[in-house]
Structure 1
């Protein structure tokens, strides 16, 4: 009897473990299928980028949080978002149409100035998309090692799953745009995100360095990334061509105006070019902390921000000066509100600085 009871208890124990495991498995929902949870603390949670959508401000961040403000950053509302993936960047080419990208290869679209969002793409689809595109090219040119290697990269993406983040996004208008990310991941659309085409073969990046940023500066569309990577779109060649830079560390952003270009990044490095990248001048930030965001203010001065919250200003002569602040916190994104206020996003959420 004792032995029978032991076997019965053991069997019941095993059954209980199995039932608990099934229950836990049944309760798991992929962040790509789990809508972002509403939270009163969202405006004070980590946010990684923000931009203007007409008069509105839109910020994106961790756990799929997207916020919008219609009063220049004083009050914020949380948008309806279909995923809980961390979101790294947002861009609106018009007041109504916008895109956000983030971890797990997610691409989101809004057609109502950021109040609601729909998913256009995620990492579960990207590997197959890359594989099919370059496999077709490899079949058409079987002697090409490039197409075979890129098709193999697509197969690797399929096998590794949806874990490759997009780091930035830029759209020229409601139809034409790009999403860029780790290991030379770059996709382009010409139909507002209904379909995407890989451009890994058009970045002059055979090492597969991360593409950290994409921006239009006024005289060209640029990519910035690891190991001093800077690329400019060449419409005649239909590719991003290499622009030589004097720095071999990572660039986190690019900003400029017609006739001038600034790139910034790791350990306080900032470089300026006034001849489309033919020559460069290093601007001394006096800092050893990474510069992570930049914006042009209403006077046309550059404002640059660090991951520790420093603010630097560069006027017409582009000399960098540290701007004193009453308090500072890490900055990941910056923009100007409709009333001229400077609005910042970072590890402690969003905050608006008063208009001077």
Structure 2
């Protein structure tokens, strides 16, 4: 068995070397440098998130596809994108300025409402950012072991290359924003993405858990992740401080409005708080499937969606009502169009549900 396994490994290695050589001979280009290919099927391909740029809908997904609609989702056009990596999240600070993040540590920016995009950063630079930032802090505070450990983390990222994805992005305004991802990967900018600073030391995340989503309720900014990670931005301390978590499983998203917040995630778990996350009430979804997207309808009611395509409406008494619908498809992102329709994206592209 050992000899056979060794032979298979040698054969596989030879095959990979041959394929790699052929790729270079044929003009191989890294997906971080390869523009997304125009495709008439982009709107039907897997899309992972969407947001509003004013009245325009902008959706992002696999192979660098970004599509936008100016008629509430009736028709779509494909944007010009400089990369072909999968894009996981998009957020617009205003009708013109938006950011998208994805695999290989990529951060994209648009200043024309999502029609054209340029790359601000990718994973090939993130390791160096950490090394420079935390090495400088280590020189100022040589007795603080945390800085040396984080600088070493930068060395590891630099050695491993551009393989760490960002999972979400959020901007408070045209200048201030955050991008978060796997293994406590978090960067912040105060100049619209021209420069990015590591924030790994400001997440109360010693285990390096994945950061899956962040969102504002209008009066607070929340960050969630795996294994019950739940944080709230402390503007005075300039850090994401821990708040009590009612669940030890993974959270996939946050939605809310001033005075309240909902977090949701694995196996149909949903929790609601009206006191800044100090106390939580579990809402019974009646489902064992993960909740993967949420938005608010025209009446301000929360609409939740699952990876199997269920739609749950949060009623005034905080009960969850399973809404009837014709046909279901996995949902990765949701938004309310200018016409009041619920626009959903997922593995089958874009679809719309009538507004209530």
Q: Is the 2:297–2:355 contact (alpha carbons within 8 Å) kept by the matching residues of 1?
A: no
Quote the residue 1:196 is aligned against. Answer: 196
| Alpha-carbon distance between aligned partners in 2 of 1:147 and 1:306, rounded to the nearest angstrom | 40
Q: Which has the larger radius of gyration?
A: 1
Shift of 1:22: 5.8
Quote the residue 1:113 is aligned against. Answer: 113
Distance 1:189 1:325, change over 3 A: same
| Alpha-carbon distance between aligned partners in 2 of 1:217 and 1:95, rounded to the nearest angstrom | 19
Secondary structure of the 2:142 match is coil
Secondary structure of the 1:232 match is strand
Cα deviations across residues 128-171 of structure 1 (Å, max 9, x unaligned)? 00111001111111111100110010000000000000000000
Q: Is the 1:167–1:211 contact (alpha carbons within 8 Å) kept by the matching residues of 2?
A: yes
Shift of 1:239: 0.7
Cα deviations across residues 291-313 of structure 1 (Å, max 9, x unaligned)? 00000111111100000100000
Quote the residue 1:321 is aligned against. Answer: 321
| Alpha-carbon distance between aligned partners in 1 of 2:23 and 2:263, rounded to the nearest angstrom | 51
Shift of 1:28: 1.2
Cα deviations across residues 224-266 of structure 1 (Å, max 9, x unaligned)? 0011111101111111100111100000001111111110000
- Normalised to the residue count of structure 1, the TM-score between the two structures is 0.93
| Alpha-carbon distance between aligned partners in 1 of 2:203 and 2:251, rounded to the nearest angstrom | 16
Please list, as runs of the form range in 1=range in 2, the aligned pairs for 1:32-71 lying within 5 A after superposition: 32-71=32-71
Quote the residue 1:93 is aligned against. Answer: 93
Distance 1:250 1:23, change over 3 A: closer
Quote the residue 2:241 is aligned against. Answer: 241
Distance 1:243 1:18, change over 3 A: closer
Quote the residue 1:282 is aligned against. Answer: 282
| Alpha-carbon distance between aligned partners in 1 of 2:194 and 2:23, rounded to the nearest angstrom | 37
Unmatched runs of 5 consecutive residues or more in structure 2: 1-16
Shift of 1:274: 1.1
Quote the residue 1:158 is aligned against. Answer: 158
Shift of 1:25: 4.0
Secondary structure of the 1:21 match is helix
Please list, as runs of the form range in 1=range in 2, the aligned pairs for 1:83-232 lying within 5 A after superposition: 83-232=83-232
Task: Name the count of aligned residue pairs.
Answer: 340
Unmatched runs of 5 consecutive residues or more in structure 1: 1-16
Q: What is the aligned-residue RMSD (CA, Å)?
A: 1.5
Secondary structure of the 1:27 match is coil
Quote the residue 2:29 is aligned against. Answer: 29
| Alpha-carbon distance between aligned partners in 1 of 2:137 and 2:248, rounded to the nearest angstrom | 33
Q: Is the 1:333–1:346 contact (alpha carbons within 8 Å) kept by the matching residues of 2?
A: yes
Shift of 1:26: 4.6
Q: Is the 1:300–1:315 contact (alpha carbons within 8 Å) kept by the matching residues of 2?
A: no
| Alpha-carbon distance between aligned partners in 1 of 2:345 and 2:143, rounded to the nearest angstrom | 49
